[in-house]
Amino acid sequence: MHNRSDLEKQFTAALKSIARRPDLKSYVEQTPQLNQILRGAAARYVTGEARQDGVEAASELSAKGYAVSLEYIGENTADVAKCEAAVTEMLALIHEARQNELSARVSFDLSHIGLSLDTELAYSNLMNLAEQAQKAGIELFISMEESSKTDRILTIFEQVASIYPNVGITLQAHLKRTPQDLAAISSPSRIRIVKGAYQESSEYSLPRSPALNDRYVELAQSALRQGHRVSIATHDESIIEQLLNQGVGSSSNAEFEMLYGIRPDLSSKLKAAGHPIRIYLTYGHEWYLYLCHRIAEYPPNLFQAVIDTVSHEGVKPVQSYE
Ligand code: FDA
């Protein structure tokens, strides 16, 4: 099992805060050579910049027997026109997922469609997406963001999911409040459980630790007992093994979900053993923060990123899925 040293934890915290510096992000965006180099590293985790890149990778994985999630990357959108543009892109994605007969779920941050500007705007954009997704037979999944947004995200989720049951929600096991949030979800819903990607104060959250893993397992079991459809979204093999040993594999309400490019060997192994598994694919221009998060949460990826930036063959993670 991967044991995180203090040095790794410091690296993770430093990279996550560097990733959020707008000056560095614009430097990367405005320096063509640097942008090109980092794009080579991002290709391990992001399918490309265009919708077509996401849909093509999703189709390849679907043909191999995986369910998929698709995300048009973006968050904290700061003006209304950009929120509307994101909604238009997501509607086109829903339409294409349907046309390609993908067993797809469209995932997104509510702050990409207005939450950072106005709760009403996020709500009405979500209602529009949920209606169109329901007509197309596609699931919509709300990601979970920083804890300062959790109350608003859960309120909007409850309101919209009571009308459109095709809408699901992500819960973060690292937040101390999450067992209560799970218990408060009134009717059987679609729930994704993740550890949590954001830097949070220890007052509100647990660090990566055996205690967090125990919390994760308890949450997954308790969500299944409550009758929810549950995505066990982790690459942590010890958690997956523990849940399988506890019989989760025989529940028709449980599936495993992993990020594209991360542990394709483990995804392939679970699929070969007959477990339902979903791969979470992303695309879009906003790949920089996403890349930093993937490196920060597993520092050895920095070495892989360096190799990928100088690789002339190009990175094709989709081929690693069996
Ligand atoms: P952990 O970080 O403890 O890693 C366990 C092991 O998994 C590592 O030892 C390593 O072997 C492997 N691993 C993990 N990350 C890796 C990486 N980047 N590269 C290579 N190996 C890696 N978060 C959030 O806050 N809000 C959200 O909405 C979502 N949504 C979401 C959807 C899906 C489908 C997934 C899988 C994850 C998310 N996340 C998320 C991210 C999540 O919170 C978490 O940061 C990552 O999944 C990493 O945590 P693990 O559970 O894998 O455990």
Q: Are 228 and 193 in contact (CB under 8 A)?
A: no
CB of 107 sitting under 6 A from ligand 1? no
Q: What is the pLDDT of residue 1?
A: 45
Q: Are 239 and 212 in contact (CB under 8 A)?
A: no
Q: Say how far apart CA 218 and CA 237 lie, in whole Å.
A: 16
Q: Give distance in angstroms: CA of 93 to centre of ligand 1.
A: 24
Q: Give distance in angstroms: CA of 195 to centre of ligand 1.
A: 7
Three state DSSP letters for 60-96:
HHHHCCCEEEEEECCCCCCCHHHHHHHHHHHHHHHHH
The number of the ligand 1 atom at minimal distance from the alpha carbon of 213 is 3
- Angle between helix axes 32-42 and 287-296 (nearest 10 degrees) is 50
What are the chain's domains?
A: 8-320 (3.20.20.220)
Atom 12 (ligand 1) nearest CA: 235
Atom 9 (ligand 1) nearest CA: 2
pLDDT in tens, 148-205: 999 999 999 999 999 999 999 999 999 999 999 999 998 889 999 999 998 899 999 9
Q: What is the pLDDT of residue 295?
A: 87
The number of the ligand 1 atom at minimal distance from the alpha carbon of 2 is 9
Q: Give distance in angstroms: CA of 158 to centre of ligand 1.
A: 25
Q: Give distance in angstroms: CA of 78 to centre of ligand 1.
A: 27
Total-model pTM:
0.93
The number of the ligand 1 atom at minimal distance from the alpha carbon of 258 is 36
The number of the ligand 1 atom at minimal distance from the alpha carbon of 257 is 34
The number of the ligand 1 atom at minimal distance from the alpha carbon of 294 is 18
pLDDT in tens, 52-65: 999 999 999 999 99
Atom 5 (ligand 1) nearest CA: 236
- Mean pLDDT for all residues in the chain: 92
CB of 116 sitting under 6 A from ligand 1? no
CB of 2 sitting under 6 A from ligand 1? yes
Q: What is the pLDDT of residue 49?
A: 93
Ranges of residues in the chain with a pLDDT under 70 are 1-4, 312-313
